Copies of this chain bind each other. A is one copy, B any other.
Amino acid sequence: MDSQKPYVIGVDLGGTNTVFGIVDAHGHIMSESSIKTHDYKTADSFVEAGIMCLKPLVEQVGGIEQIAGMGIGAPNANFYSGAIEYAPNLSWAHDGVVPLAQMFSGRLGGLAVRLTNDANAAAMGEMTYGVARGMKNFIVITLGTGVGSGIVINGQLVYGHDGFAGELGHVTMVRGKEGRLCGCGRTGCLEAYCSATGVAHTAREILANTDRPSLLRNKPAEEIESLDVSIAASQGDEMANEIFQFTGKILGEACADFAAFSSPEAFIFFGGLCKAGDLIMKPVEEAYNQHVMPIFKGKAKFLVSGLMNVNAAVLGASALGWGE
């Protein structure tokens, strides 16, 4: 790839929309456009629509000669093969392997196209444009509906032997029968406790098991979302604070284990749950420093992504376009 060229294309391939953006070296999104991910029956027609959507954006910045590369963030994406593999939520890729990088590259004059999952794209975004600039060893943890991760070691994303490494949402935090059922079908995973879904689950559990007063009782328990917990906690609600303490403790203990693995310079958190700020981040850091090996104590930074107010998914994916 040719980093002399001033722009890259970033693509956020989501369950509803697929957003295409042109990004410069400073992380400014020059222009954006999108298509509906599910309006297409086949991968071919999806790619065709994507190219049509991209064309005017590329023209606007002076044509494909101005583009260094393209990065796509997508579910079930294999970086090594450039393919989406059996993605349950994509109608045109749920029962097979779609070599998406190759398909786009073929339609863009052989442009270098790379593909990875959302959390890895987020890590690339932080390293290229965000708080991890200059860092060689860090871990991005995305706290959304699920818990994802992008791990950087020696300045490189960790893809592992098969391209699927970095699934830190699925380390086991509660072993044995007491572990909560996780979306992955196993029990006790970090994700089952520290995702938005996990936080709502914890809230419902505490509400059901006690009769203590809480602002959270103003809503039917089954409708409570993690945002409600954030709002209540920021209003000083004791139970909501306790829920964040519980969540942060598990996340901090997990980070202590991750430190034993790769001793990162920083843990960078991304996603809706971070909006609770210190209410969640303080318990994370406290639990970390309480549980980590003495040799690592106080060394790691705990940061919140600075890319959350822009289209971070497009930006993160675009970082792949610069190559290495």
Contact = CB atoms under 8 A, between A and B. Distances in A.
Contacts of A264: 160-161
B165 A263 contact: yes
- How many copies are assembled? 2
Q: Is the interface of A mostly helix, strand, loop or mixed?
A: loop
A158 interface: yes
Contacts of A136: 161
Interface in A171-209: 171-175, 184-186
A154 B151 contact: no
B186 A293 contact: yes
A206 B321 CA distance: 57
B253 A161 contact: no
B160 A257 contact: no
A298 to B, nearest CB: 11
Interface residues on A, range: 35 or more
Given A153-B158, A293-B186, A258 B261 contact: yes
Contact of A260 (B170, B265, B294, B296): B170
Which of A151, A158, A160 is packed against the most chain B CB atoms within 10 Å?
A160
Nearest to A263: B160
Contacts of A282: none
A166 interface: yes
Contacts of A243: none
A38 interface: no
28 contacts: A137-B160, A151-B261, A153-B158, A154-B154, A154-B156, A158-B261, A160-B263, A161-B263, A161-B265, A161-B300, A162-B299, A163-B263, A165-B262, A165-B263, A166-B260, A166-B262, A166-B263, A167-B260, A167-B295, A168-B261, A170-B293, A171-B257, A171-B260, A171-B261, A172-B257, A175-B253, A184-B294, A185-B294
Which of A159, A168, A170 is packed against the most chain B CB atoms within 10 Å?
A170
A111 interface: no
Contact of A186 (B171, B184, B265, B291): B291
| Nearest 4 pairs of A and B residues by beta carbon | A160-B263, A165-B263, A161-B265, A167-B260
Contacts of A164: 263, 295-296
Given A153-B153, A172-B253, A256-B172, A160 B262 contact: yes
